Structure 1
Amino acid sequence: MKQYDAIIIGAGQAGVPLAKKLALSGKKTAIIEKRYIGGTCVNDGCTPTKTMVASAKMAYMARVSAPLGVTIKKFSVDMPTIKKRKDDVVNMFRNGSQKGLEKTKGLDILMGEATFTGPKALSVKMNDGGVQELQADLIFINTGTKTTIPAIDGLSDIGYLTSTTILDLDEVPEHLLIIGGNYIGLEFGQMFRRFGSKVSVIERSARIISREEADVSAEMTKHLEAEKISILTNSAVTAFKQKKNGKITAIIKTRDTEQKVKCTHVLIAAGRSPQTETLGLDKAGVKIDEHGYIIVNKKLETNVAGIYALGDVKGGPAFTHIAYNDYTIVYRNLIEGTKYTIDDRPVPYCMFTDPQLGRVGIDEAEAKKLKLKVKVAKLPMAHVARAIETGDTRGFMKAVVDAKTKKILGATVIGEQGGEIMTVLQMAMEGGITYDRIRYCVFAHPLFSESLNNLFMGIAD
């Protein structure tokens, strides 16, 4: 059994920088990865999808360019070229991460699948054959999540797609049916609609992105339906049937009615599950919750001293930037002697539909539940000079502020560069800058963020 100071299971957005930092600090370190270096973000998530979203936006701009005086009479979507560009970008990011690990002194890279054999012991089934036995006082789990596959009659017979396998398509689906009307499903839905697919979104809840406020959901629904994306809410697929010609029939129940929808491809985007089932956590004594997520304390340590969980596998906000922040907390606490926790850290996020959705802090509905005394500012993008000038007035800016302290408690922005505008407000929240100061702040003209002046003009002092 080979002895290490630290072992990281999973080379995701927390595991990779943590492994490098631990090794550079003088600890003999190993990182274990069963698939690709870089984790979901680089290989199946942010990097490939946002690369393809850029292609989809270009197709959309070609279709709607006439009002700006540029008429594009004919264009085509070259899916193999889009896929190749995506693959090239992914490989660049992945290879960069791998080379960074390879040149780090004191760090071993093991490509294989790890399973606990004891509290601080692991067995690694190597991808190229053989087994290695490892042991360390510090073990960090960064194995992430995978697509949750619902139990639907006939689903296993139709060759369904996940957010991973859909990235390998080199042709545009004729009709893509998506199960799940949340962030992943909507990004892919709009993307493939712009590539030329007919798209149907099936959502169990009463509205899409149901974790957001009703006005946010309604706004996004309006814009997606304007692109002729079919959205069925309060609905569930109860069965699939596939004909010999490859066409698929989905049986969809909406309240008390049932209908049949024919499609060519099905994307499962109804949630994700932690990759913990093969880790043998019971052998280590590590506790998990009823959904399989690893339970951690506010410093990301499990119930077993010296074993930590970072990123999506521990539950909570499932974002790359949260996983990265997990790494910074754990590393600084262990190596630099700090006492950082995950308590009260900001959780900004974006949905990269078009228009973008950027969100940080609490919204109006959450403020009401908490019985906070707040004021709400809202500004349609139709009143934003930059939006008018660029010809895209979809969406709105919205902020919730404390009525007494005037501090910003949360912000939601739907619109072109929505995430960037949201980030300006996040920086104000981090620095304690009150809304009345932003109201009269000098921003460069004409930026989208300049209209934060006007957003807060709408609040009466």
Structure 2
Amino acid sequence: MKQFDLVIIGFGKAGKTLAKTAARQGKKVAVIEQSNKMYGGTCINIGCIPSKVLVHDGELNKSFVDAFERKSEVVGALNKKNYNTLATDENIEVVDGKAKFKSNYEVEVFDDNDKLLDTYTSKNIVINTGASPVIPDIEGVKTSKRLYDSTGIMNLSEQPKRLVIIGGGYIALEFASMFNNLGTDVTVLERSDILMPKEDEEIRNAAINDLTEAGINFVTEAESEKFEDTEDHTIVHTNKGTFEADAVLLAIGRKPNVDLGLENTDIELTDRKEIKVDEHLRTTREGIYAVGDVKGGMQFTYISLDDFRIVKDDLYGDKERTTENRGAVPYTVFIDPPLSRVGMTAKEAKEASKEIKEGKLPVNSIPRHKINNDPRGLFKAVVDAETNEVLGATLYGKESEEMINIVKLAIDQKISYEVLRDNIYTHPTMTESLNDLFNVKE
């Protein structure tokens, strides 16, 4: 049995950052990771970074082979860098193996053959095991040779001519846009009658229209019933007919990785099988925390990074930072062009009984769109008519993933919309469009 000041299960963003921070303070830290392909966590290895490399290269009209080769190079370099950052620290031990709780403060580590390697104990343990794709219980799902999750689809050796995507959420739409730009025929099968239901209706319709014009086939109210392999393709049987595919992506959601022997502890799960935490990310057992996707909520690497700040503050600080005071959370759907959002839509603000002003700006009225050679998109902003504070914005267009962060700052700092409206921005940029976007009207 090995005793540590801090044991972290999982090499994700929150865990690795906390490990390095604790090590700098002289703490002895163990970081347990079951796969050497996951040093650095989901974002670096199988999530944000590889998928955005493919998105970027697809927009540049690079070939499938070139894009996938560069993706592998980028992932490999970041994986190695992250491992070395921790493994070369004299206060950190990186442990390869599967972690299982023996008791509240004892974690056993097993190899691939379920052989016990060692036991690690600490009064402070952080669970950072992430989430994995949900696999639907559909006939043929276990036997078809052409079905992939979001990880597998990014490791194809050959480009599929036809890709069918089961699910129409944000991850599904990103992959649809990416593969479409790389030259694959894409069909998206969505169970509900609408895509991106939480987004501003006008912008949502504009985005779906652009994706449709780009060649993506959307089928709503589609129930997938069976996967049938033939010699050279897979047939997807649905209530809306059959669809032939060279590859099928299953993208219907993700579930937390909680196969950790939690039954041997006092750690409780929510009804959604996520690890239950309070606003300080403490579990139901003192000294044990859960961070990142395993605790549920928004599954973004920057949320995981902020989880690190909360746990760091709780362990080594003044315990004031919580999930309740981290401010507005922006996000971007990396379709082509990207759709970025923070705060409320006009509909949500009105439902909250707020008097509002709205700003609206087509991208084709922004001078920079001529340089980008892309007139697609629409920007919208919402302002509180009584306080003049910014309530939210939805930006659909090139470079919106950068601009949305400025709006987030304005919301958090309760800055009057007039500051964004009257600020001096560089020219010619997309950001200078905030001058016009926030020239709001009642």
TM interval, short-chain normalised? over 0.9
State the alpha-carbon separation in 1 of the partners of residues 112 and 66 from structure 2. 31
- Residue type matched to 1:124 in 2? V
State the alpha-carbon separation in 2 of the partners of residues 190 and 205 from structure 1. 20
1:18 aligned residue: 18
Report the alpha carbon displacement of residue 431 of structure 1 after superposing the two structures with TM.
Answer: 2.8
**Pair 1:428 & 2:410 matched:** yes
Do the aligned residues in 2 keep the contact of 1:180 with 1:201 (CA within 8 Å)?
A: yes
Do the aligned residues in 1 keep the contact of 2:357 with 2:440 (CA within 8 Å)?
A: no
Do the aligned residues in 2 keep the contact of 1:178 with 1:199 (CA within 8 Å)?
A: yes
**Pair 1:161 & 2:148 matched:** yes
SS of the aligned residue for 1:371 comes to coil
Report the alpha carbon displacement of residue 82 of structure 1 after superposing the two structures with TM.
Answer: 2.1
1:378 aligned residue: 360
1:74-89 to 2 correspondences below 5 Å: 78-89=63-74
State the alpha-carbon separation in 2 of the partners of residues 272 and 211 from structure 1. 18
2:59 aligned residue: 57
Segment of structure 1 superposing worse, 82-91 or 7-16? 82-91
What is the total number of aligned residue pairs between the two structures? 437
State the alpha-carbon separation in 2 of the partners of residues 96 and 45 from structure 1. 17
Question: Per-residue displacement from partner, 1:221-273 (whole Å, max 9, x unpaired)?
Answer: 11110111000112121111112x232111122xxxx3111112100011000
Report the alpha carbon displacement of residue 338 of structure 1 after superposing the two structures with TM.
Answer: 3.7
Question: Per-residue displacement from partner, 1:377-411 (whole Å, max 9, x unpaired)?
Answer: 11111221211343211111111111111010111
Match among 415, 419, 424 for residue 437 of structure 1:
419
2:120 aligned residue: 134
Do the aligned residues in 1 keep the contact of 2:58 with 2:67 (CA within 8 Å)?
A: no
Percent identical pairs in the alignment equals 35
Match among 169, 173, 179 for residue 192 of structure 1:
179
Scaled by the length of structure 2, the TM-score of the pair is 0.96
- Residue type matched to 2:264 in 1? K
- Residue type matched to 1:323 in 2? S
- Residue type matched to 1:417 in 2? E
State the alpha-carbon separation in 1 of the partners of residues 63 and 385 from structure 2. 53
1:3-14 to 2 correspondences below 5 Å: 3-14=3-14
1:40 aligned residue: 42
Report the alpha carbon displacement of residue 80 of structure 1 after superposing the two structures with TM.
Answer: 3.1
State the alpha-carbon separation in 2 of the partners of residues 270 and 169 from structure 1. 20
Q: Which runs of 5+ in 1 are unaligned?
A: 60-76
SS of the aligned residue for 1:155 comes to coil
**Pair 1:290 & 2:271 matched:** yes
Do the aligned residues in 1 keep the contact of 2:309 with 2:321 (CA within 8 Å)?
A: no
State the alpha-carbon separation in 2 of the partners of residues 47 and 97 from structure 1. 14
Do the aligned residues in 1 keep the contact of 2:19 with 2:31 (CA within 8 Å)?
A: yes
Backbone CA RMSD of aligned residues? 1.5
State the alpha-carbon separation in 1 of the partners of residues 63 and 333 from structure 2. 25
2:98 aligned residue: 113
Do the aligned residues in 1 keep the contact of 2:2 with 2:119 (CA within 8 Å)?
A: yes
- Residue type matched to 1:430 in 2? D
SS of the aligned residue for 2:196 comes to coil
**Pair 1:392 & 2:379 matched:** no
1:281 aligned residue: 262
SS of the aligned residue for 2:123 comes to strand
Match among 96, 113, 116 for residue 81 of structure 2:
96
State the alpha-carbon separation in 1 of the partners of residues 420 and 249 from structure 2. 43
2:236 aligned residue: 250
Do the aligned residues in 2 keep the contact of 1:176 with 1:264 (CA within 8 Å)?
A: yes
Question: Per-residue displacement from partner, 1:184-232 (whole Å, max 9, x unpaired)?
Answer: 1111111111212110001112222223232232111111101110001
- Residue type matched to 1:390 in 2? N
Do the aligned residues in 1 keep the contact of 2:101 with 2:262 (CA within 8 Å)?
A: yes
Question: Per-residue displacement from partner, 1:77-127 (whole Å, max 9, x unpaired)?
Answer: 543332221111111111111111012221111011100111111110035
State the alpha-carbon separation in 1 of the partners of residues 138 and 130 from structure 2. 25
Question: Per-residue displacement from partner, 1:154-186 (whole Å, max 9, x unpaired)?
Answer: 122212111101111122101100011111111
- Residue type matched to 2:80 in 1? N
Scaled by the length of structure 1, the TM-score of the pair is 0.92
- Residue type matched to 2:45 in 1? N
- Residue type matched to 1:176 in 2? L
State the alpha-carbon separation in 2 of the partners of residues 443 and 6 from structure 1. 46
**Pair 1:151 & 2:137 matched:** yes
Report the alpha carbon displacement of residue 427 of structure 1 after superposing the two structures with TM.
Answer: 2.1
State the alpha-carbon separation in 2 of the partners of residues 115 and 8 from structure 1. 12
**Pair 1:207 & 2:189 matched:** no
Segment of structure 1 superposing worse, 303-312 or 330-339? 330-339
Do the aligned residues in 1 keep the contact of 2:382 with 2:393 (CA within 8 Å)?
A: yes
Report the alpha carbon displacement of residue 310 of structure 1 after superposing the two structures with TM.
Answer: 0.3
- Residue type matched to 1:15 in 2? G
State the alpha-carbon separation in 1 of the partners of residues 303 and 314 from structure 2. 16
Match among 107, 110, 132 for residue 122 of structure 1:
107
State the alpha-carbon separation in 1 of the partners of residues 430 and 241 from structure 2. 44
State the alpha-carbon separation in 1 of the partners of residues 102 and 297 from structure 2. 27
